[in-house]
Amino acid sequence: MYPKTCAECGGRVHASRDAIPFEIRGESVLVEGVDHGRCNICGEAYLTLAATEQLQQEAVRLLREAHGLLSPQEIRDIRRSLGLSQAAFEAVLGVGAKTVVRWEKGTVFQSVTADRLMRLIRDRPELASTLTSGQLYAAPRGCPDSTGASPARAHG
């Protein structure tokens, strides 16, 4: 639980479910409905660890929806439709270890780039094997543009 007395100003801390601002990657979102303690003088919010996790999860959900990104369940469905483990799907997408784990848990949300890549793979599952076969890395060789030229551009 939270303290009865505010550590900042000595004011009384009361139970609250008021909106709490939360920032992710420079974007702020107001999260409502998280039980917490609120100082009646300075407004300082006191959260339990569980409430903090709930706050983050809810902020992630709100921002993901605001950006129209795939939900954790949709990501899991795409991965399972390919018959891939979380680690294998991370290799396909070229993202770090445990990244897909966190997306599927809803603790963080994916970039727009990763989101589009997953939609592309959902619609054209054969791309998953292309992405891990090394073809994409071999094609741009010899191309002076090393800033991420696609094979299509390299040949076109």
Interface with Zn ion (CB under 5 A):
6, 8-9, 11, 39, 41-42, 44
Of 6 and 78, nearer to Zn ion (C-beta) is 6
Rounded to a whole number of angstroms, the minimum distance from the CB of residue 14 to Zn ion is 11
Strands 27-31, 20-24: pairing kind? antiparallel
For residues 42 and 78, is the Cβ–Cβ distance under 8 A?
no
Burial class (CB in 10 A: 0-12, 13-18, 19+), 32: exposed
Of 5 and 73, nearer to Zn ion (C-beta) is 5
Rounded to a whole number of angstroms, the minimum distance from the CB of residue 43 to Zn ion is 7
Rounded to a whole number of angstroms, the minimum distance from the CB of residue 87 to Zn ion is 46
HSE value, Cβ hemisphere, 13 Å, CA-based, for 12: 2
Rounded to a whole number of angstroms, the minimum distance from the CB of residue 40 to Zn ion is 8
Of 16 and 86, nearer to Zn ion (C-beta) is 16
Q: H or E element: which one contains 23?
A: strand 20-24
